[in-house]
Amino acid sequence: MSDDQEEEIVCRCEDVSLKELLEAIDRGYTTLDQLKRYLRIGMGHCQGRTCLRLAAGVLARKLGKRVDEIEWPTVRPPILPVEISKLAEVDERDKR
């Protein structure tokens, strides 16, 4: 793999390169859940809609598995991004 390929970004939200992903796998992070915790892949604004698929493909190749053999991390609510303003809204009834 060329240096240019290794500098490709896998996770745009958290700015994780292919090189960083490969190094993490070589260090022993061999599940998507471990990679998510270590590199924060899938924890950005898109919530992993793009990068987890890319990471799963890279991980599968490195481990000699098929992509469908890779276990996906547990999804925890909110499943869709929530605007911070919605979390900060105050119900007028709560002011009494």
Using one digit for the tens of pLDDT, what is the confidence trace for 8-47?
Answer: 999 999 999 999 999 999 999 999 999 999 999 988 888 8
Question: Over 80: is that where the pLDDT of 74 sits?
Answer: no
Q: What is the dihedral of CA 73, 64, 7, 38, to 10 degrees?
A: 30
- What pLDDT is recorded for position 96? 60
Nearest in space to 44 (alpha carbons), one of 4, 15, 21, 86: 15
Instruction: Give the chain's domains with CATH numbers.
Output: 3-95 (1.10.10.1100)
Using one digit for the tens of pLDDT, what is the confidence trace for 76-95?
Answer: 766 777 787 877 776 666 66
- What pLDDT is recorded for position 48? 87
Residue 69 is classified by DSSP as: G
The region, left, alpha or beta by phi > 0 then psi within -120 to 50, assigned to residue 44 is beta
- Is pTM beyond 0.85? Reply is no
